[in-house]
Amino acid sequence: MEPLQVTNKEMTIQFPGKLIFGKGVLAQLANEISGLGCSRVLIVTLTPLLPRLEELIQQLNDQGISTTLDTSIVQEPTFRDFEQLMEQAQQADPEVVVGIGGGSVLDVAKLVAAQLGNDQTLQEIVGIGNLKGRSRKLICLPATAGTGSEVSPNAILLDDTDNQKKGIISPFLLPDIVYVDPLLTMTVPAHITAVTGLDALTHCLEAYTNKFSQPFIDMFALEGVRLIAANLVKAVQNGEDEEARTHVAMGSMLGGFCLGPVNTAGVHALAYPLGSMFHLAHGLSNALLLPYVMEFNLPAAPERFAAIAVALGCTPGSNHQETAQKGIAKIRSIIKQCGAPARLREVNIPQDAILPMAQDAMKITRLLKNNPRPISVIDAVDIYTAAY
């Protein structure tokens, strides 16, 4: 196969208006919100985080800012979940929407901020670049490390009508202000730390080996791989390791920066049916498929996969192929050390679901087109079978 070339495709980079990264920065958020001159705030978050937010809410109340809390998003969100939350949001009519949670919470908060005061329906904004604008301020704080949603223009919902995951991609989904406080991730359970960290690692890896990779994004991608690979197992095995948590949070954020200009590819496309058909968590779906898609893609980009292996901490072999194979073995080792399942059968996926999943994955053309090697439905069957 021809080596993967760095693309000359036009690149658009859009960053949040302001980014604050550091341990304990949550304490600054009340003053940040107050500085926006608003009187009504909606906070979309998770019930386990409420004790951490008591001081924030008290500070907002003391400054005369009324706060509406929503904790209704407890799993990967559906169109129906979003529309129910929108009813509450419209009644509260906030000037500022704050998302504090995992990727699902942040995705929904981003969409709420965009849809308040917008006459477009949810169906009309699905896809790339269809959202016309956003009239409310948006602040995001990730509580997992993670999806990188806090710095990406993407939001993903499950459409109840056809059971397909749908992406809404728009620069208007980028927050005005992002706070990344690694201390918010300290209480995340080990199994969630593992699969969200593996998701973030996949973002970086798929951006670097992408058909449309870009040198500017390569910097984020390789550093993200390095930080996550060196620290994820530590964070899983000792959740109180602040340094490991901080490095994984930074790696996750760097992975998020990859999502707008370059985005993901075959791993994510093949992972989607695991979520929509069997309700597997997104990060777990990616982890189950990552080494198998890497093996499939390696012939199309051996030099790039070799660079990934070095970023993962592997010593170079005698050629790119050998080095890249070390990288795949390292990924398998990280997954195992994180305690994540390595096979589809381990999470009760029936073997007769392989062909329907492969057919379903073919619909995710917005990601498949990025893959360094074309994936046919037969290839998808082969990859799922290998992962079985």
* Shared domain check, 245 and 278: yes
Domain boundary among 185, 212, 241: 185
For residue 4, being part of any structural domain is answered with no
Cα–Cα separations (whole angstroms), residue 299 to 196, 256, 278, 324: 28, 26, 31, 10
Task: Look at residue 331 and give its three-state secondary structure.
Answer: helix
Full pLDDT tens readout for the chain, 388 residues: 444 555 567 888 889 999 999 999 999 999 999 999 999 999 999 999 999 999 999 999 999 999 999 999 998 899 999 999 999 999 999 999 999 999 999 999 999 999 999 999 999 999 999 999 999 999 999 999 989 999 999 999 999 898 888 999 999 999 999 999 999 999 999 999 999 999 999 999 999 999 999 999 999 999 999 999 999 999 999 999 999 999 999 999 999 999 989 999 999 999 999 999 999 999 999 999 999 999 999 999 999 999 999 999 999 999 999 999 999 999 999 999 999 999 999 999 999 999 999 999 999 999 999 999 999 999 999 999 999 9
* Backbone dihedral angles phi then psi of residue 39, each to the nearest 5 degrees: -120, -15
* Shared domain check, 109 and 249: no
At 348, which amino acid appears?
N
Domain boundary among 185, 202, 237: 185
Q: Residue length, the chain?
A: 388
Instruction: Please give the structure tokens belonging to residue 373.
Output: 């090697």
Q: Which residues on adjacent β-strands are paired with residue 78?
A: 158
* Shared domain check, 146 and 40: yes
Cα–Cα separations (whole angstroms), residue 232 to 33, 180, 184, 199, 294: 32, 17, 16, 11, 20
Report d(CA 13, CA 7) in Å as an integer: 15
* Shared domain check, 219 and 115: no
Q: Give the pTM.
A: 0.95
Range of the domain at 99: 18-185
Instruction: Please give the structure tokens belonging to residue 278.
Output: 């069997």
* Shared domain check, 37 and 157: yes
* Shared domain check, 197 and 171: no
* Shared domain check, 143 and 63: yes
Q: Report the CATH number that the domain containing residue 147 is assigned in CATH.
A: 3.40.50.1970
Burial class (CB in 10 A: 0-12, 13-18, 19+), 374: exposed
What does the radius of gyration of the chain's CA atoms come to, in whole angstroms?
20
For residue 9, being part of any structural domain is answered with no
* Shared domain check, 146 and 108: yes
